[in-house]
Structure 1
């Protein structure tokens, strides 16, 4: 197994496989309703839904970075209040997360490992660091989601 395949396994396991931490994004989010996802149990904290949208946006951002695009990160860090809190909108959010999962796996399946050493010009981090960073970002926020889910 090469490094790209190992990274694909990390992405898959954290999303819906068997990660070491024993919780996954898909399983955790599948048990959360739109109403629960939009609750704010910590008054100055984020909702589960806001965190999921943040995950989606950062997954898209980093994917574009490792495809050579230079991006401006918005001042809100991709955290916005939910305007449509319907069941359908929650389902669309979960589908958008699934889409980013498929996009990442496709990208990794076609990625040239020689490009791991390329640097993103804005922060000078390598593509390898960005790819592992987005997995770490997902795991960090999954922990928040699990805790928030216990509160809603």
Structure 2
């Protein structure tokens, strides 16, 4: 039996979200990171775990809106570097928990959307985005998530060498 595009996308989303497979999922990586650890950066590293989470939230939500609205192009006035930025008024336990929840919910929404959409939607082309098919864009979104989840995992490993108390 041949695996469907839907099954592959759901598998990729699960791996990024909460399925322990080839790499640690975002949920596993983020669950025990404190606020101090979430904002920590290595010398010369431009992003913290929290900033990376913000970046993933931005792109996951933006592409989900486009998918739901059938590619209604949003005027994007935000530069990519800005998607990493922290709201310094929310650097506290509540803000960090909200960020983790927002990332988690975004993965759940994507998985629900993929599970329930027509296959024809996944095969549909996006004229405003290189005429790519939706399944291809979503697959690349998963690769984007996996890349940045790897960055978060590396930062978490480096944190073990530091006393945050």
* Structure 2 counterparts to residues 3-152 of structure 1, below 5 A: 3-19=5-21, 21-43=22-44, 45-67=46-68, 68=70, 69-73=72-76, 74-77=78-81, 78-83=83-88, 84-124=90-130, 125-152=132-159
| Change beyond 3 A, Cα 1:82–1:44 | farther
> TM-score, normalised to structure 1's length?
0.89
Query: 4+ residue runs of structure 1 moved beyond 4 angstroms?
Result: none
Take 2:115 and 2:65, find their aligned partners in 1: how far apart are those partners? 16
Return 5+ residue gaps in structure 1 as ranges: none
Tell me the CA shift for residue 44 of structure 1.
5.0
> TM-score, normalised to structure 2's length?
0.83
Return 5+ residue gaps in structure 2 as ranges: 160-165
Structure label with greater radius of gyration? 2
Root-mean-square deviation (CA), in Å?
1.7
Q: Is the 8 A contact 1:50 1:82 kept in 2?
A: no
Corresponding residue pairs, total: 151
Q: Is the 8 A contact 1:4 1:111 kept in 2?
A: no
Take 2:152 and 2:129, find their aligned partners in 1: how far apart are those partners? 28
